[in-house]
Amino acid sequence: MDPKGKAAIVTGGASGLGAATVRALCARGARVVIADRSRETGEALAAELGGSAVFVETDVTSESAVTGAVRRAVDDFGGLHIAVGCAGIGTNGRVVGKSGPLPLDLFALTVNVNLVGMFNAIRLSAAAMQNGVPDAEGERGVIITTASIAAFDGQIGQAAYSASKAGVVGMTLPIARELSRFGIRVVTIAPGIFDTPMLAMLPDEARAALSANVPFPQRLGRPAEFARLALDIVENSMLNGECIRLDAALRMQPK
């Protein structure tokens, strides 16, 4: 699918991987709804991109909020062709720590945002895409979700986070198979350690230690590299039902 002239929505699009993807899509001629909870950064990004993007305050766990963001794409840009799910949270906590068992509320919150919220965005985006006019190859839409290499080699303290991201990986193929009848593809990206606002809060020594574990290139991933892969997925119609690791050959150690 050629992004030029297409309508897109990016959840978690106000910062980090999402913001890089928004910029990349707009640079290729797409028009994008930035769906995020952060109004200040989301509106600033939309202002930077001019008429190519609009911001809609969105909680991915809310059906009404995501419905509103999708409807904004349809109303403002004439449909929905591309959806990229980057919204998520990172949590840590041992199953049994010094203060006792991991709070069940924390586990539920992690799964609710990272997995249920992702599914919410998928289902509502697909419902809008199925009504679109197919291109010459019969394609109506592309949905890209974000997992993590923690889905495969999660560390101690990442039980909740790993479970939520493994769920994203696990639903990729069955949803891709189901939506194939509408000409909608579904692909997941599993990033390694990327230089996002979350990691920016770490001291330089901690960032250097993380980078040292990456085989090559021995550094943190750049959000623009994630965005580049997202564009490749949009443009390559044979990519479907797959999870792609973007991790510079990193396999995380137990801790």
- CA 233 centroid distance within chain: 13
* Catalytic site residue from 77, 107, 161, 194: 161
- How far apart are the C-alpha atoms of 188 and 171, rounded to whole Å? 10
Amino acid at 137: E
Cβ contacts of 9 within 8 Å, gap of 6 or more = 32, 33, 35, 69, 70, 73, 80, 82, 83, 84, 121, 125
What are the DSSP calls for the chain, one per residue?
---TT-EEEEETTTSHHHHHHHHHHHHTT-EEEEEES-HHHHHHHHHHHGGGEEEEE--TT-HHHHHHHHHHHHHHHSS--EEEE---------SEETTEEPPHHHHHHHHIIIIIHHHHHHHHHHHHHTTSPP-TTS--EEEEEE--THHHHPPTT-HHHHHHHHHHHHHHHHHHHHHGGGTEEEEEEEE-SB--HHHHTS-HHHHHHHHHT-SSS-SPBPHHHHHHHHHHHHH-TT--S-EEEESTT------
Catalytic: 161? yes
Residues carrying an active site annotation = 161
